[in-house]
Amino acid sequence: MRKWITCYLVLAMVVIGVVPSVNASFLSSETMKTTGSDRTFDLHTARMALETRLVHQRLVDLGFTAEEVGARLAQLSDQQIHQLAQRLNDVRVGQDGFGIVISLLVIAGLVVLIYYLLHHQVVVQ
């Protein structure tokens, strides 16, 4: 019985630990006015991301000029622009690395604890 309870608790802790973190914040009224299909807002989001130094340098390294990137961006449909803007909003560079390390340490600790508990028998006389 103890073995089943231990396995259940370990499984429950793993499931609870896998839940992704949710970030919430206040939205400005300007953001609330725009709809998801607003091409100008999505183009602005894409251009702001392309203007960052790191992205610009990577595009130059790949052999693209700013004019080529602008021309390709103008050729995209409304749906493609919206999809690009959504994906750019989802990109978080270097985030959740600390959480993954902590999760792995907790899992390793639980494995060691379970191993210790299962291999030591308590004898009551």
pLDDT of 49-90, one tens digit each?
877 787 788 888 888 888 888 888 888 888 888 888 877 766
* Res. 36 pLDDT band, cuts 50 70 90: very low
Q: What is the pTM of this model?
A: 0.42
Provide the mean pLDDT of the chain: 77
DSSP of 48-104, one letter per residue? HHHTSHHHHHHHHHTT--HHHHHHHHHHS-HHHHHHHHHHHHH--TT-SHHHHHHHH
DSSP of 42-54, one letter per residue? HHHHHHHHHTSHH
Tokens for 3, please give them. 């073995």
User: How much of the chain, in percent, has pLDDT values that exceed 70?
Assistant: 74
Lowest-pLDDT range of 17-21, 54-58, 114-118: 17-21
**What residues contact residue 118 under an 8 Å CB cut-off, 6+ apart?**
3, 6
- Give residue limits of the domains in the chain: 47-91
